[in-house]
Amino acid sequence: MSQKKYEIDMCNGPLLPKIVKFAIPLLFSSILQLLFNAVDMIIAGQYAGSDALAAVGATSSVSQLIINLFIGLAVGSNVVVAKFYGARQEHEVSEAVHTSILLSLIGGIILAVLGVFLARPLLQFMDTPEDILDQAVLYMQIYFIGVPALLLYNFGSSILRAIGDTKRPMYYLLAAGILNVILNLILVINFHLGVAGVAIATAVTQTLSAILVLRCLTKESGVCRLDLKQLHINKEISLSIVRIGVPAGLQGIIFSFSNVLIQSSINSFGSLAMAGNTACSNIEGFIFTVINTFHQTALNFSSQNLGARNYDRIKKSVQISLVLVIVVTGVLSAVGLQFGSQLLSIYNNDPTVISYGLLRMKIVFLSYFVCGSMHVINGGLRGLGYSISPLIITIIGVCGFRIVWLYTIFAQNHDFTTLFIAYPVSWTATAVSLGIIYIIIFQRLVQKDTLQSAATQHSIG
Specify whether the CB–CB gap between 150 and 180 falls below 8 A: no
Residues 247-274 have a mean pLDDT of 81
pLDDT tens for 65-85 read: 778 778 888 999 999 999 999
- Can you give the residue ranges of every domain in the chain? 15-453
Handedness of CA 78, 81, 87, 88 (dihedral sign): negative
Give the N- to C-terminal CA distance of the chain in Å, as an integer.
Answer: 31
Give the pLDDT band of residue 283 (cuts 50, 70, 90): confident
Where is average pLDDT lowest: 318-327, 365-374, 398-407? 398-407
Predicted pLDDT at 455: 65
Q: Which of 257, 75, 284 is nearest to 162 (CA)?
A: 75
Measure the CA–CA gap between 129 and 455, rounded to whole angstroms. 65
Q: What rounded mean pLDDT belongs to the chain? A: 89
**DSSP of 234-265, one letter per residue?**
-HHHHHHHHHHHHHHHHHHHHHHHHHHHHHHH
Predicted pLDDT at 458: 55
Burial of residue 232 (number of CB atoms within 10 Å: 0-12, 13-18, 19+): exposed
> Cα separation of 214 and 153, whole Å?
8
DSSP 408: T
Identity of residue 156: G
What is the per-residue pLDDT across 134-176, written as a single tens digit (0 to 9) for each?
999 999 999 999 999 999 999 999 999 999 999 999 999 899 9
For residues 152 and 67, is the Cβ–Cβ distance under 8 A?
no
The total number of residues written for the chain in this structure: 461
CB 241 within 8 A of CB 103: yes
Q: Which amino acid, 62?
A: V
Give, to the nearest 10 degrees, the angle between helix 130-145 and helix 147-162.
60
Q: How many CB atoms lie within 10 A of CB 137?
A: 22
**Whole-Å CA distances, 141 to 100, 114, 136, 207:** 26, 10, 9, 16
Amino acid at 241: I
User: pLDDT tens digit string along 218-254?
Assistant: 998 888 999 999 999 999 999 999 999 988 888 877 7
Q: Is the dihedral of CA 139, 144, 145, 150 positive or negative?
A: positive
- Dihedral over Cα of 350, 351, 354, 360: its sign: negative
What is the pLDDT, as a whole number, of residue 228? Answer: 92
Q: In the predicted model, what is the mean pLDDT of residues 8-18?
A: 91
DSSP string, 200-233: HHHHHHHHHHHHHHHHHHHH--STT---GGG---
Helix (H) or strand (E) holding 78: helix 50-86
In this predicted structure, what is the pLDDT of residue 2? 46
Q: Are 202 and 146 in contact (CB under 8 A)?
A: yes
C-alpha 92/C-alpha 85 separation (Å) is 8
Task: Give the whole-angstrom CA distance, residue 375 versus residue 405.
Answer: 22
* Separation of alpha carbons 424 and 181, rounded Å: 34
In whole angstroms, give the CA distance from residue 82 to residue 102.
18
Average pLDDT over residues 122-135: 89
Of 437, 322, 420, which Cα lies nearest the Cα of 375?
Answer: 322
CB atoms within 10 A of CB 239: 11
Amino acid (1-letter code) at residue 255: F
Mean pLDDT of 408-416: 88
Please give the Cα distance from 440 to 124 (Å, whole number). 44
Q: What is the pLDDT of residue 5?
A: 76
378 vs 434: CA distance, rounded Å: 7
pLDDT of 152 reads 96
**Whether the predicted pLDDT of 36 surpasses 50:** yes
Report the alpha-carbon distance of residue 336 to residue 338 in Å, rounded.
Answer: 5
Q: What is the pLDDT of residue 156?
A: 96
**At 385, which amino acid appears?**
G
pTM exceeds 0.95: no
pLDDT tier at 460, thresholds 50, 70, 90: low
b (16+ CB within 10 A) / e for 100-118:
bbbbbbebbeebbeebbeb
